[in-house]
Amino acid sequence: MDLPPAPNGLSNRWNLGLHWGICSGPNCHIRNNLLKCGACRVILYCGTSHQKADQARHKSSCDIIKNASAELVQAEHDMRARPGDAYMPENPFETARGQFWFWKPTRPYMQKRFELTSALLNTRTGDAVEAALEHSLEMLHLNPGDNQSVRSQVPGLYLRLGRDQEAYDFIKWYNTIGSAAGYEWGNPESPFLNLHDENVFEGVNACNRIGIDLSHLAYLTSLKVRLLLDLQMLEKQSKKPSNRNADYDKKMEWIREDAISDVLYKRRDIVERSDWADLIADLNNQLKKLIKHVEERYKHYWPALKSPGRWAAAIPILYALGSPEEISLAFRQTRYCWAECPSALEFVKTQTST
Is residue 271 within 8 A of residue 255, CB to CB? The reply is: yes
Q: Which residues contact 342 (CB under 8 A, 6 or more apart)?
A: 17
* Smallest gap from residue 117 Cβ to Zn ion (A): 16
Nearer to Zn ion (CB atom), residue 28 or residue 154: 28
Nearer to Zn ion (CB atom), residue 111 or residue 122: 122
Q: How far does Cα 223 stand from its chain's mean position?
A: 10
Nearer to Zn ion (CB atom), residue 122 or residue 284: 122
HSE-up (13 A, CA, CB side) for residue 99 = 17
* Smallest gap from residue 27 Cβ to Zn ion (A): 9
- CA dist 39 and 37 (Å) reads 6
* Smallest gap from residue 3 Cβ to Zn ion (A): 17
Chain residues in the site for Zn ion (CB under 5 A): 23, 25, 28, 30, 37, 39-40, 46, 50, 62
- Cβ-based neighbour number of residue 264 at 10 Å: 25
* Smallest gap from residue 11 Cβ to Zn ion (A): 23
Query: What is the 3-state secondary structure of 29-75?
Result: CCCCCCEECCCCCCCEECCHHHHHHCHHHHHHHHHHHHHHHHHHHHH
Instruction: Name the burial class of residue 147, with classes exposed (0-12), middle (13-18) and buried (19+) by CB atoms within 10 angstroms of its CB.
Output: exposed
Nearer to Zn ion (CB atom), residue 39 or residue 195: 39
* Smallest gap from residue 25 Cβ to Zn ion (A): 3
Nearer to Zn ion (CB atom), residue 36 or residue 288: 36
* Smallest gap from residue 5 Cβ to Zn ion (A): 22
Nearer to Zn ion (CB atom), residue 10 or residue 62: 62
Q: Where are the alpha helices (DSSP H) in the chain?
A: 48-53, 55-81, 92-95, 107-120, 126-142, 154-160, 164-175, 214-239, 248-258, 268-271, 277-297, 301-306, 309-312, 324-339, 342-351
